Amino acid sequence: MKQYISLLFALSFASQISAQSLEEKFDHFWKTNDTLGLRLTLEEWQTADSINAEYYTSLFNYYFKKASQEVIVVSSDLPINGNEGVYALKDSTNATKGYMQTQTSFAPQYIELAMEAIDQGIAHYPNRLDMRFGKTYAYGEIEDWGNFTTTIIETIKRSKQNDNQWTTTHSEAISDGKNLMLSTIQDYQAKLYDAQNDSLLTNMRDIAQAVVDIYPNHAVSWANIAATYIIINDLDNALPPSLKAEEIDPTDVIVLNNIAQIYLRKGDNTKATEYLNKIIEVGNEEDKRYARGLIEKIK
């Protein structure tokens, strides 16, 4: 699955212009990090076949790569993202005086050019799922959550128009495009959640709502809507989508536990126990131990 959402689109273009295809040249220069070779190849490609789908994805990759810049950040406090990639700066007594970390920044002028390239590609090839999710991935990397969300919702809406007849590199058909799209969107929902920013709960909810508007039996998205309310303790709004998710998939232990927790927070131990017993009926051994233990606590 990840092959479809990777920023680096598969680079394959069967050229009829020369023995060595433009794609092969681009791929070679990409692997050797030859930015001049990449630029010259793209200029040649533009002249030879500027509406080729792989030209747009390669141009997008080129500009996004060019936009990425590593900078060294020195601070007196330990970065909030923990110790990974962080170096302590110590004095002669071995006392920590600060921290140094390499971070990635993105040059906005090249991001704009990258997005222009991929938008042109999508305009010509609206069913290329890799283009749409590559664009989404890029917005996630630069933490542009507004456009990240908009791009996902546009993809969901397109899926209704094309009946999930998605394609990927070289316009090859994707088997089971619906499930691939929905599972990848769930990965992106996790990325929003992992940002640990309550202001993004609305983004998560908007994406999930867009899914259930077209796919009303997608239990995971109903559960996502519920989760955005549970997190902020809006229990009255959390319960209906949770019950809808249960109606679709009554064996989903996460959904059953969420409903139990909602009732516990609302002070309805009887209903909470009812749902914990449902977990005992359908869950694995660990789930059953958890549910039995919680039932004992609330007796």
With cut-offs at 50, 70 and 90, classify the pLDDT of residue 78. low
- Please indicate, yes or no, if residue 277 is contained in any of the structural domains: yes
Given this model, what pLDDT does residue 43 score? 95
Given this model, what pLDDT does residue 105 score? 83
Counting the structural domains of the chain, the total is 1
- Please indicate, yes or no, if residue 134 is contained in any of the structural domains: no
- Do the Cβ atoms of 264 and 298 come closer than 8 Å? yes
With cut-offs at 50, 70 and 90, classify the pLDDT of residue 2. very low
- Please indicate, yes or no, if residue 30 is contained in any of the structural domains: no
- Please indicate, yes or no, if residue 211 is contained in any of the structural domains: no
What digits encode the pLDDT tens for the residues 125-145?
A: 999 999 999 999 999 999 999
- CATH for 256: 1.25.40.10
Average pLDDT for residues 170-186, to the nearest whole number?
A: 96
What digits encode the pLDDT tens for the residues 239-287?
A: 999 999 999 999 999 999 999 999 999 999 999 999 999 999 999 999 9
- Please indicate, yes or no, if residue 177 is contained in any of the structural domains: no
Q: What is the mean pLDDT of the chain?
A: 89
DSSP labels for 9-68? -------SSSSS-HHHHHHHHHHTT-HHHHHHHHHHHHHHHTT-HHHHHHHHHHHHHHHE
User: What range does the domain containing 236 cover?
Assistant: 219-299
- Please indicate, yes or no, if residue 9 is contained in any of the structural domains: no
What digits encode the pLDDT tens for the residues 206-224?
A: 999 999 999 999 999 999 9
Other CB atoms closer than 10 Å to residue 5's CB: what's the count?
20
79 pLDDT exceeds 70? Answer: no
- Please indicate, yes or no, if residue 245 is contained in any of the structural domains: yes
Given this model, what pLDDT does residue 15 score? 38
For the record, the structure tokens of 180 come out as 């691939």
- Please indicate, yes or no, if residue 43 is contained in any of the structural domains: no
